[in-house]
Structure 1
Amino acid sequence: MQLDLPFLRSSRPIAQPDPGVEFIRTRRARRYILRVKPDGTIRLTIPRSGSRSEAIGFMQRHVAWIAKERARVRRDQAPVRWTDGSTILLDGEVTTIAVRRTGESVTATYGTRVVRVKDVSDVRPCIERDLRDLARERLVPRLRALAAGLDLTVTRVTIRNQRSRWGSCSRAGAIALNFRLVQMPPSVWEYVLVHELMHLTQQNHGPRFWTLVKRACPSFQESERWLRTTGRSLF
């Protein structure tokens, strides 16, 4: 599940070291539209009457703009340091980080979680490692339980540090989940799990897909709103 879901997605690598380009064809687009996503990937929207070859030509004519936009994205994506007194989300609630030194031991507490840290000037790496552990504890068994209840087969579940997706599902049945999901309200991350599970039967975002999502998660639109309005703050 991407931060903003496309009508249709396909990927095609371009000259290295470029990370790639996503071609999106949509009925609503009347012109070619370029966008650089947070992970540096180029998203190129193609109008109904357009072609991939024309799209590549359009992209090549805008290489200077792409380079400038990627530089801006890198600046914007510089991680904010977390220190004593910083606030983060956990289970959708604001929690304050407290860094404490006891003898030679230094810990950071957030919510009910206590993490050993080394660098008091930035405890974010240590807390994010702990969030990944928490995600494995919570998300993996819940995903498998949901899959069993829906009579779906998941071949593999991984927890990742994704920058532009909340989750993904391969045609082979492997699902990857963003560890930041545990920072959301449980109802929101449960929707993301359902969303990815529905891709086991529908590898697209067409009407049939959304019918299945709504059947399994009737209030999914509320979760979508939370993701749009608050989700980006988790990065």
Structure 2
Amino acid sequence: MRYPDVMANRWLPDLLVRAGLRPPPAPPRRTATTAFTVVAGGRAVEVRLRRNARAKRYTLRLDAKGAGAVVTLPRRGTIAEARAFVTRHADWLAERLAPETASAVPADGDMVPVRGVPHRLACTGAARGAVALAADGDGRPVLVVPGAPEHRRRRLETFLKRLARDDLAAAVARHAGTLCVRPTAIRLKDTTSRWGSASAAGGLSFSWRLVMAPPFVLDYLAAHEVAHLVEMNHSDRFWTICRRLAPRTEEAKAWLKAEGRGLHRLP
């Protein structure tokens, strides 16, 4: 007599248990791949996957912190093709990643630009005191940094961020007054993908590292983002407003293209 297959399947596990056997374990569930690692510039870089049904091609960008990358896959894209795409652009990725030397301890005699002027670090080692701009016996600019070596970077960044906030706040206020607009907030960030941004709600964000660039570069970025409070685009009208606020716009753009990457190497 032939029993239906469903009955055989129903009693098979119990029969195996009674016979001292065990059914084979269920295969492990496969988890979707969300990231992979590539080598760029001699370092391992994590690349996160992002699918976009509307994308027509693969695209690659740095993540918000500049420590890794994000590759966007079109609807029919595959992980293998995404990996090959990122590998082909490994040189581009290596050039734009935050350098691994960021963990190095600032040392006495190192040079750090402040408002476009190179300053020699004078690390005093004193337990007390604040970071300060000064000059040596020959009148050359010096940046005095007290504290133990392990605290130098934090103290130096805190000082530069304070300068950046003061300079950006002044520049933003001047340009906003010209256009009769008022930003809702000014925030400092440390990204490698963009120097500034403006939100629809009126918030402005800037890289604090702009304080290391010449003042006309910082002024241009402030004007650029303030102009977005009037024109949230990069139309001809936007650039007309931006150039009116910052006459050295083209010079600043050229400087950032040629020298901007160096601002991420220090401190």
TM-score (ref. length: structure 2) = 0.63
Q: How many residues align?
A: 206
Contact 1:22 1:42 in 2 (8 A): no
Distance 1:184 1:52, change over 3 A: same
- How far the C-alpha of 1:173 sits from its partner, in A, is 0.3
Worse-matched range after superposition: 208-217 or 163-172: 208-217
Q: Which runs of 5+ in 1 are unaligned?
A: 1-13, 26-30, 45-50
On the 8 A contact 1:156/1:174 being kept in 2, the answer is yes
Q: What amino acid is the match of 2:68? A: G
* Counterpart among 244, 247, 250 of residue 215 in structure 1: 244
- How far off is 1:142 after superposition? 2.7
Q: Is residue 60 of structure 2 the alignment partner of residue 40 of structure 1?
A: no
CA distance, structure 1, for counterparts of residue 196 and residue 98 of structure 2: 24
2:221 equivalent to 1:192: yes
The CA RMSD over aligned residues, in Å, is 3.7
Corresponding residue for residue 118 of structure 2: 94
Give 3-state SS (helix, strand or coil) of 1:154's partner.
coil
Alignment of 1:53-132 (within 5 A): 53=75, 57=77, 61-63=81-83, 66=86, 69=90, 72=94, 76-79=99-102, 80-102=104-126, 104-105=127-128, 111=141, 113-119=143-149, 123-132=152-161
d(CA) in 1 for partners of 2:108 and 2:130? Answer: 10
The runs of 5 or more residues in structure 2 that have no matched partner are 1-32, 36-45, 134-140
1:207 Cα shift? 2.4
Alignment partners' CA distance in 2, 1:125 and 1:20: 33
Q: In structure 2, what is the equivalent of residue 145 of structure 1?
A: 174
Residue 22 of structure 1 and its aligned partner are, at CA, apart by: 11
Residue 183 (1) aligns with residue 212 (2): yes
Cα distance change of structure 1 residues 195 and 58 upon mapping to structure 2, 3 Å threshold: farther
Contact 1:115 1:126 (8 Å CA) reproduced: yes
From the superposition, tell whether residues 75 and 132 of structure 1 become closer, same or farther in structure 2 (CA, over 3 Å). Answer: closer
